[in-house]
Amino acid sequence: MAGTPPTVATTATVLTDTNCMPDQADISHCHNALRLADGSTITVRHDHAIRRHPCFTPGENVRVVSVGET
Protein backbone atom coordinates (compact mmCIF):
# COMPACT_ATOMS: atom_id res chain seq x y z
CA MET A 1 0.00 0.00 0.00
CA ALA A 2 2.93 2.32 0.74
CA GLY A 3 6.71 2.20 0.76
CA THR A 4 9.11 0.09 -1.27
CA PRO A 5 8.57 -3.64 -0.77
CA PRO A 6 11.63 -5.86 -0.38
CA THR A 7 12.87 -7.79 -3.40
CA VAL A 8 13.91 -10.77 -1.25
CA ALA A 9 12.46 -12.31 1.90
CA THR A 10 13.23 -10.40 5.08
CA THR A 11 11.98 -9.97 8.62
CA ALA A 12 9.88 -7.09 9.89
CA THR A 13 8.44 -5.79 13.12
CA VAL A 14 4.73 -4.98 13.15
CA LEU A 15 4.17 -1.34 14.08
CA THR A 16 0.38 -1.05 13.62
CA ASP A 17 -2.69 -3.22 12.99
CA THR A 18 -5.81 -1.37 11.81
CA ASN A 19 -8.92 -1.98 9.67
CA CYS A 20 -9.40 -5.42 11.25
CA MET A 21 -13.19 -5.73 10.97
CA PRO A 22 -13.91 -8.92 8.95
CA ASP A 23 -16.14 -8.80 5.89
CA GLN A 24 -19.20 -11.03 5.33
CA ALA A 25 -16.92 -13.99 4.51
CA ASP A 26 -14.99 -13.53 7.80
CA ILE A 27 -11.92 -12.26 5.94
CA SER A 28 -10.08 -9.35 7.54
CA HIS A 29 -8.20 -6.88 5.35
CA CYS A 30 -5.90 -5.45 8.00
CA HIS A 31 -3.56 -2.54 7.30
CA ASN A 32 -0.14 -3.05 8.85
CA ALA A 33 2.83 -0.71 9.06
CA LEU A 34 5.97 -2.84 9.15
CA ARG A 35 9.58 -1.89 9.95
CA LEU A 36 11.83 -4.00 7.75
CA ALA A 37 15.18 -5.38 8.88
CA ASP A 38 16.97 -2.60 6.94
CA GLY A 39 15.06 0.05 8.94
CA SER A 40 12.69 1.13 6.17
CA THR A 41 8.93 1.09 6.68
CA ILE A 42 6.18 -0.25 4.44
CA THR A 43 2.41 -0.48 4.83
CA VAL A 44 0.69 -3.66 3.62
CA ARG A 45 -2.79 -5.10 3.49
CA HIS A 46 -2.89 -8.46 5.28
CA ASP A 47 -5.91 -10.44 4.04
CA HIS A 48 -6.60 -13.38 6.32
CA ALA A 49 -9.35 -15.66 7.60
CA ILE A 50 -9.82 -14.15 11.04
CA ARG A 51 -11.09 -17.37 12.63
CA ARG A 52 -8.06 -19.37 11.43
CA HIS A 53 -5.30 -16.76 11.55
CA PRO A 54 -5.22 -13.95 14.12
CA CYS A 55 -4.38 -10.36 13.32
CA PHE A 56 -0.81 -9.22 13.76
CA THR A 57 0.16 -7.66 17.08
CA PRO A 58 2.34 -4.54 17.28
CA GLY A 59 5.81 -5.65 18.32
CA GLU A 60 5.42 -9.06 16.67
CA ASN A 61 8.12 -10.16 14.22
CA VAL A 62 6.93 -11.44 10.84
CA ARG A 63 8.51 -12.65 7.63
CA VAL A 64 7.90 -10.55 4.52
CA VAL A 65 8.24 -12.06 1.04
CA SER A 66 7.77 -10.44 -2.33
CA VAL A 67 4.87 -11.49 -4.52
CA GLY A 68 5.58 -14.85 -6.15
CA GLU A 69 8.29 -15.78 -3.63
CA THR A 70 7.77 -18.60 -1.11
Separation CA 7–CA 23 (nearest Å): 30
Model-level pTM? Answer: 0.85
Query: Does a structural domain hold residue 38?
Result: yes
Say which CATH number the domain at 19 has.
2.40.50
Q: Is residue 48 part of a domain?
A: yes
What total number of domains does the chain contain? 1
Give the separation between CA 38 and CA 48, rounded to whole angstroms.
26
In a domain, 43, yes or no: yes
Q: What tens digit of pLDDT does each residue of 27-63 get? A: 999 999 999 999 999 999 999 998 899 999 999 999 9
Residue 25 resides in a domain: yes
| pLDDT, tens digit (0-9, with 9 covering 90-100), for 18-29 | 999 999 999 999
Q: Is residue 45 part of a domain?
A: yes
Specify whether the backbone of 39 is left (phi greater than 0), alpha (psi in -120 to 50) or beta: left
Cα(21)–Cα(42) distance, integer angstroms: 21
> Which residue range is the domain that position 56 belongs to?
10-64
In a domain, 27, yes or no: yes
Cα(59)–Cα(65) distance, rounded to whole angstroms? 19
Burial (CB < 10 A; 0-12, 13-18, 19+), residue 40, is middle
